Chain A
Amino acid sequence: MAYTPHTDPDRAAMLAAIGVASVDDLFADIPERVRAGEWDLPAPMAEQEVRAELSRLASANRIPQVSFLGYGAYRHLVPSVVSEVVGRAEFSTAYTPYQPEVSQGTLQSIYEFQSLICELTGMEVATASHYDGATATAEAALMACRLTRRDRVAVSAAVHPEVRRVLATYCSGPGIEIVEIAVDLAQDASGQTDPAAAAAALDTSVACLIAQQPNAFGVLEPMAELGGAAHAVGAQFVAVVEPTSLAVLQAPADYGADIVAAEGQPLGIPMAFGGPWVGLMAARMGSVRQMPGRLVGATRDAAGRKGYVLTLQAREQHIRREKAASNICTNQALCALAATAYLTAVGPAGLREVAELGMTQARHAVTALRRAGLAERRFSGPYASEVAVTLPDARRRHAALAEQGIVAGAPLGRDYPELDDTLLLAATELTTDADVERLVSALAASR
């Protein structure tokens, strides 16, 4: 009703051409006893009513005035040009580029995306995208199992709990066992995954070790040592990373990562209550035939013109069916385009500034809290732009501040009971000095 163009004479003409008296005749093949009963759905709405209803719901959200909440989703500037690019209907209302001759825009942009992700991670090949960082990580673990023909997966407890939850669900399918490597969460511990503990948990039945950089507490891991522990038993090293940090942090390829997975949301994609975001995955060329998901490759037409196509499709479900590397079909292409436009918009200097501004404001916040006698760092290990702090009565005070529209980071106690007195604070380039001052004064008042 809202968007169909047919007039009653149009419908009559079509029915006449088909040779049926009414549209009901086109549904006569539905067995009588399973035909739909009456349903109870609302009446149609005009555009102004739709707008009013969606505005009602949007304004029922209270967007905090000050927020230090990160923990897997980050408040960054989405440059205006990025919104403009993803708003182009030629991109947004196309589908999977099955017909490359009329999809070169989408295909070339994916090739550029793959190139950018390779450049950020130092890896040799990147996929066209996954649903999110958590499913990309889970698929990376399954890929490692195929590559090594092993059926156990080791994961650090300092990998984000959301990632580990999704990993557990995916591994439950084929019956892959998960070995979790505990991390010392005591006050003033390093907050890092201990390479010796990792080595002790690994043996030749383990397909991969998964570690996150920076980890779920914001702490920087000894990735090279962890990678060494994995390689010592012939396991793959899966690095879960945060893409903006790669402007300043070592590229995963340089510390020995075999597969890289990441949540790409920080790259110009709104938080939007959890999605759509984009999962990134990169690996070494030798593993490409076990990679899940779409890949775009460059080639030529008969006249020698360069063009792009979906390639190595013999890995995929529409060709291989039950023997496919994954069931993934639809991915997050438009979000990958946003990431491509974002990385282009900020460039190498801008991405470094994003990473450094976050690091500076995280340090600013920690220093200000310490000077005010309000909180101390929980862990001693190095950190980037997200940092865990300990303070008395953390949960209650977090709730009290939320009432005032200030979100004092993420209370870690729900996921890590030992960290009930710990808040994880995230800073980005949007964090201001005034935000730090508001946080400090509100926490002081909540004592």
Chain B
Amino acid sequence: MSVVDERAARSAGGPGDADASGRGAAFASPVGGEALTIVEPLIFEHSRPGRRAVRFPAPSEAARAAAEGEPPLPPSVKRAEAPRLPEVSELDLLRHFNRLSQLNIAIETAFYPLGSCTMKYNPKVNEWAARLTGFTDSHPLDPEALAQGSLELQWLLAELLREISGFAAVSLQPAAGAHGELTGMLMARAYHRSTGEGEQRTKVLVPDSSHGTNPATATMVGYTTVTIPSNERGGINLEALRAALGPDVAALMITNPSTLGIFEDQIDQVIAAVKEAGAIAYMDGANLNAIMGRFRPGEAGFDVMHFNLHKTFSTPHGGGGPGSGPVGVSERLLPFLPRPMPVLLAGDPAEVRRNAWAGRATDGARFGLDWDRPHSIGKVRSMFGNFGMHLRAYAYIRANGGDGLREVSDDAVLAANYLRVRLADAYDLPYDRICKHEVVFSGRRQKRQHGVTTLDLAKAILDHGIHPPTIYFPLIVEEALMIEPTETESLETLDRFVDVMHQLARTAAEDPGALRAAPVTTPVGRLDEAGAARRPDLRHRFDEPAVAVSTSAG
């Protein structure tokens, strides 16, 4: 009996498994080889009245006495019942979250070829830097003289991103890729308003292969979306694009390389057509990891692009965030950038860069924030963005240097093409051409011939300790399997993945029922998502009543 079979047998009902209530026997099942089968109760279920972790000192007599001279809180604003927060010891807290963590697959535990998300290694030195108290304890509203390090770092990072992308300037304020899109499209609209064409330009064009965030962003900016079909080679249909362009079009939002992992080989003509029509050329930079050193969107003529620091520049994805979505712009959008912008107030920019690249401060250099930007779209986020991500991205770029970043993209593309070639015998490849950082297969053969869906394949991949690729996206590929290996996976890991995918293709033909039953080694099996949406259970319900707040002061 294989390990997989053995676990499957056990999950069908054996000691240490879920009881009738559905609550797992967390304590009956020792940590170790069984780690992934442990079910951990909610933190509320560990709670016992009076237990606690962190303690705070009592206020001094002096403080208390002085405070008595001031009015306390009026009863009308005070809370009646204390919030039922958990009451646990530090050790209980750690065990709970450590156990929860063991229920996850993550980059540091397994291969994670989730297409479009660039799940590369997140270097530890970046985390070391993010914990320096000079950064963590820096208040964003501290006087600028006290925050010169944070401001210099932001200025330097913007300079580096500018050079990588070929844009005129970069704002670091947006908190995520979609937030960068919103920022970029607000700037596009501000630009059209500044030329008197704000009213007439109401449409945004998006290819049918685009990320869902693109049309959602267009709506948030008040635009209507027009979808442009792809051509038979997976690129944008240039004729359809030209036909759709006109005096009512505000912008084209295009992902390049596309979500099919394909570089738009007519990109120069696409940009020219958009600009000729007076529209803004927006590039979704989610896939920048494929093209560093090979294609600079700003230099090629794009007006605006968002970066995803959590993809290309290795900041951790955090289970869904934080990300960071800086935006680069061309000269004509420069006046509309969010405010404030970190600026060099005193000093020669070339000298400051030169010194910083050599690891040196520049005497007399002074950094600040430029709020005086009358045409700015305003602020898109409080303060100055996800600074903690900025500093990690800065550390990453400095570690790699220009040569390293080029090699990052080269190796990412090499790995994706290797998987493309190695898996082409087992799975359909709707667009069989050189790809960039990711390759999109179709599971349609397995579905038609054996009744095994891409969802079945993905769940079966889980049983091999690998995170599945992105599935059912892009929407234009039937039963899509979008695989992005990234540059940080070794050839052995790639080969093992190839073996697993080949094995699954064989199993699909020989024993399709086994795939439809997957996964069998995970802490839970396929979950009832329809039921979750029909009867939303979005919070814990307490058995115990709330108790009155017992304030000692105020």
Contact = CB atoms under 8 A, between A and B. Distances in A.
Interface string A296-331: 111111111111110111101111111110111111
Contacts of B532: 297-299, 309, 311
A90 B105 CA distance: 7
A212 interface: no
Contacts of B456: none
A331 B526 contact: no
A307 B232 CA distance: 42
Contacts of B382: 72, 132-135, 162-163, 165-166, 263, 274, 277
Contact of A35 (B104, B295, B523, B536): B295
B449 interface: no
A359 B553 contact: yes
Interface string A354-391: 11110111011011100000000000001010000000
Contacts of A41: 160, 163-164, 397, 401-402, 405
A309 B527 contact: yes
Interface in B349-390: 356-357, 359-361, 377-389
Interface in B485-523: 487-491, 519, 522-523
Contacts of B554: 248, 355-356, 359
Nearest to A311: B532
Contacts of B322: 131, 275-276, 330-335
Contact of A101 (B84, B160, B221, B525): B525
A71 interface: yes
Interface stretch (B132-140, B242-250, B274-282): B132-140
Interface stretch (A25-33, A196-204, A230-238): A25-33
Nearest to A48: B125
A445 interface: no
Given A309-B529, A337-B319, A367-B66, A274 B400 contact: no
Nearest to B526: A301
B148 A60 contact: yes
B195 interface: no
B462 A334 contact: no
Given A276-B389, A331-B321, A3 B123 contact: yes
Contacts of B388: 270, 272, 275-276
Contacts of A331: 176, 320-322
B543 interface: no
A407 interface: yes
A169 B377 contact: yes
Contact of B398 (A42, A101, A135, A327): A42
B22 A77 contact: no
A57 B152 contact: yes
B526 A334 contact: no
B166 interface: yes
A307 B128 CA distance: 34
Contact of A36 (B218, B293, B338): B293
Nearest to B531: A299
A215 interface: no
A131 B382 CA distance: 9
B4 interface: no
B457 to A, nearest CB: 12
B301 A34 contact: yes
A329 B176 contact: yes
Nearest to A368: B66
Contact of B538 (A63, A109, A297, A316): A297
A61 B134 CA distance: 6
A351 B85 contact: yes
Interface in B259-300: 262-263, 265-268, 271, 291, 293-296, 299-300
Interface in B414-432: 414-415, 417-418, 420-422
A21 interface: no
Given A305-B24, A322-B215, A87 B127 contact: yes
B320 A6 contact: no
Contacts of A40: 163, 402
A101 B44 contact: no
A360 B401 contact: no
Interface string B459-471: 1001000011010
B427 to A, nearest CB: 16
Contacts of B551: 248, 352, 356
A105 interface: yes
Interface residues of B, number: 228
Contact residues of B: prevailing secondary structure: loop
B39 to A, nearest CB: 7
A115 B83 contact: no
A386 to B, nearest CB: 13
B44 A115 contact: yes
Contact of B59 (A5, A84, A295, A357): A357
B359 A429 contact: no
A410 interface: yes
Given A15-B414, A42-B398, A343 B139 contact: no
Interface string B210-226: 01110111111110110
Contact of B80 (A99, A174, A254, A277): A254
B11 interface: yes
A42 B402 contact: yes
A90 B384 contact: no
Contact of A37 (B60, B299, B473): B299
Nearest to A353: B56
Nearest to B540: A115
Nearest to A173: B221
Nearest to B88: A344
A345 B53 contact: yes
B143 interface: yes
A104 B320 CA distance: 13
A93 B106 contact: yes
A344 B524 contact: no
Given A73-B140, A341-B93, A51 B129 contact: yes
Contact of B421 (A18, A353, A366): A18
Contacts of B105: 94, 99, 102-103
B539 A88 contact: no
Contacts of A95: 112, 114, 117, 119, 317, 319-320
Contacts of A327: 178, 181-182, 213, 216-217, 219-220
A351 B356 CA distance: 43
B33 interface: no
A43 B397 CA distance: 10
Residue of A41, A299, A312, A319 most packed against chain B (CB within 10 A): A41
B508 to A, nearest CB: 19
A169 B379 contact: yes
A153 interface: no
B392 to A, nearest CB: 10
Interface in B7-66: 11-12, 18, 20, 22-24, 39-40, 42-44, 51-57, 59-60, 62-64, 66
A317 B213 contact: yes
Contact of A382 (B74, B80, B462, B488): B74
List the 6 closest A-B pairs by CB distance, nearest first: A274-B383, A58-B134, A41-B402, A334-B318, A60-B149, A1-B404
22 contacts: A54-B128, A54-B391, A58-B134, A61-B146, A61-B147, A72-B382, A89-B108, A93-B119, A95-B119, A116-B83, A163-B382, A174-B220, A249-B79, A250-B79, A273-B384, A275-B383, A276-B389, A299-B537, A303-B11, A307-B527, A327-B213, A407-B143
